Amino acid sequence: MIDQSEELFINRLKEGHESAFRQLVYIYGNRIFRICSQMTSTLPEAEDLTQEVFIAIVESILQFKGQSKISTWIHKIAVSKCLELKRAKVAKKRAGFVVSIFGGKDINQSALEIPDHFSSSAAIENEQLSLIIKAALNKLPENQKMSLILSKMEEYSYKEIADIMNISIPAVESLIFRAKHYMKKLLADFYEKNK
């Protein structure tokens, strides 16, 4: 399933060669960071999450069996770490809600609120559109969001996404279809309001 050069690279990783780990970060760093930044609210959070992904790779490289491409395995770890973070945030939000009921503290608002006023400047509009798209992405269920990010932003095939997410190809197709449909609705509502 893996070619000879990839097998050599994996063996060097398993043997703990520092240059192999540097190469790993060089090859996959930007791609993992993009996934993490789409799944988090802030740049520092995305940087921390990216670092956690690479730590997890280092800690578990000996368990890599070569049953898939190393890129699939790495992205599977990234998806897992992103979902762990989301679950932790939900748990924290629930705890905050309980505190707000009994302690009178406010629940934190989303870091990605859509601004009320929009500038005619093209640069500002692009930045605002990015925020709107990210806010819309954040409204998707996690599995739809992840499948859409892997498909449209990272350009993975449905088969690769299925391998990364441990689901079937028809399930990937369904997730992406529903995600696109929901995104179109959210963005259509935005454009209708801002004509």
Q: Is the dihedral of CA 147, 149, 151, 155 positive or negative?
A: negative
Domain membership of residue 22 as a residue range: 1-108
Residue where a domain terminates, one of 56, 75, 108: 108
87 and 75 inside one domain: yes
* Token pair for 85: 């973070």
Distance (Å, rounded) from C-alpha 81 to C-alpha 88?
11
Beta carbons of 28 and 35 less than 8 angstroms apart = no
Burial (0-12, 13-18, 19+ Cβ within 10 Å), 104: exposed
CATH code of residue 171: 1.10.10.10
72 and 86 inside one domain: yes
52 and 116 inside one domain: no
Residue where a domain terminates, one of 63, 89, 108: 108
Distance (Å, rounded) from C-alpha 182 to C-alpha 170?
18
1 and 54 inside one domain: yes
How many structural domains compose the chain? 2
Residue where a domain terminates, one of 86, 108, 130: 108
CATH code of residue 88: 1.10.1740.10
82 and 143 inside one domain: no
69 and 127 inside one domain: no
- For 76-120, the three-class secondary structure string (H helix, E strand, C coil) is HHHHHHHHHHHHHHHHHHHHHHHHHHHHCCCCCCCCCCCCCCCCC
155 and 59 inside one domain: no
In this prediction the pTM is 0.57
Per-residue confidence in pLDDT tens, the chain, 195 aa: 456 788 888 889 899 888 999 999 999 999 999 888 888 778 888 899 899 999 999 899 998 888 888 888 898 898 888 878 776 665 554 434 333 333 444 433 333 343 444 444 455 555 666 777 777 888 888 888 888 888 887 788 899 889 888 899 999 999 999 988 888 887 776 666 665
Beta carbons of 102 and 112 less than 8 angstroms apart = no
* pLDDT computed for residue 129 by the predictor: 66
